[in-house]
């Protein structure tokens, strides 16, 4: 029993030492995500806790509140190094996913669209500055996109009536290089390359108002 007590005391000291090292690594990382030193200290603390728990169970049939499993340190080293020593890191799926989306809109009232775009521009302009007027439908749509989150959901306003749209998902060899296209190039950034592979296409249709749908059905009755 004396030997078991000595082993338990030593195992507990290793837990305490590992906990201190883990805390020091966390403080040194200062909030960095996926810090290698923090991860290595975590593994050491995990395994020390696991070993102490096993010894306590063998000696007294008791367990700690730490529900942990042993972590292989060699696997940790390989993960941090990007693979076995001397091996080049490999990407099992090196291609890039490209999402291309188009949605068309009808403008029931140009003046109403410009008014809502100018209101959005005023909200984004400092009070001491006078915002420039919105000139035209295209500028109004761009203003709504810029004042929103940049996605097409920023155009979900009553002043724009959505029409059909389409989403294309493709695998491409490399990501788009915007610097290689002129600002007025409307085709280049969206043009598929010869080795692009289309994965799928989603057709978007606007939701019909229930009353309008019933009216349409009623109009086609014989």
- How far is residue 103's CA from residue 146's CA, in Å, rounded to a whole number? 17
pLDDT band at 31 (very low <50, low <70, confident <90, very high): confident
pLDDT in tens, 104-131: 999 999 999 999 999 988 887 787 788 8
Q: Is the pLDDT of residue 99 over 50?
A: yes
Residues whose CB is less than 8 angstroms from the CB of residue 38 and which lie 6 or more positions away in sequence, other chains included: 22, 25, 26, 29, 32
pLDDT band at 23 (very low <50, low <70, confident <90, very high): very high
No. of helices (H) and no. of strands (E), the chain: 6, 3
Could you tell me if 70 and 45 are in contact, meaning their C-beta atoms sit under 8 angstroms apart? Answer: no
What would the mean pLDDT of 46-50 be, rounded to a whole number?
A: 92
CA contacts within 13 A on the Cβ side of 191:
10
- How far is residue 31's CA from residue 9's CA, in Å, rounded to a whole number? 33
């Amino acid at each position: 029993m004396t030997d078991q007590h000595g082993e338990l005391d030593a195992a507990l000291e290793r837990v305490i030492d590992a906990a201190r090292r883990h805390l020091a690594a966390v403080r040194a990382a200062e909030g960095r995500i996926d810090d290698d030193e923090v991860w290595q200290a975590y593994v050491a603390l995990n395994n020390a806790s696991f070993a102490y728990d096993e010894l306590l169970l063998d000696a007294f049939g008791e367990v700690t509140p730490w529900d942990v499993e042993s972590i292989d340190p060699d696997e940790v080293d390989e993960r941090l190094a990007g693979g076995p020593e001397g091996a080049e890191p490999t990407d099992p799926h090196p291609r890039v996913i490209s999402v291309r989306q188009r949605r068309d809109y009808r403008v029931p009232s140009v003046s109403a669209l410009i008014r809502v775009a100018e209101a959005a521009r005023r909200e984004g302009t400092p009070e001491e500055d006078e915002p420039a007027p919105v000139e035209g439908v295209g500028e109004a749509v761009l203003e709504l996109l810029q004042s929103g989150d940049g996605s097409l959901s920023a155009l979900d306003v009553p002043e724009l009536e959505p029409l059909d749209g389409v989403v294309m998902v493709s695998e491409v060899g490399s990501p788009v290089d915007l610097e290689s296209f002129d600002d007025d190039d409307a085709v280049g950034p969206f043009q598929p390359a010869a080795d692009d592979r289309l994965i799928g296409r989603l057709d978007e249709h606007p939701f019909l108002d229930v009353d309008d749908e019933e009216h349409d059905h009623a109009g086609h009755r014989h």
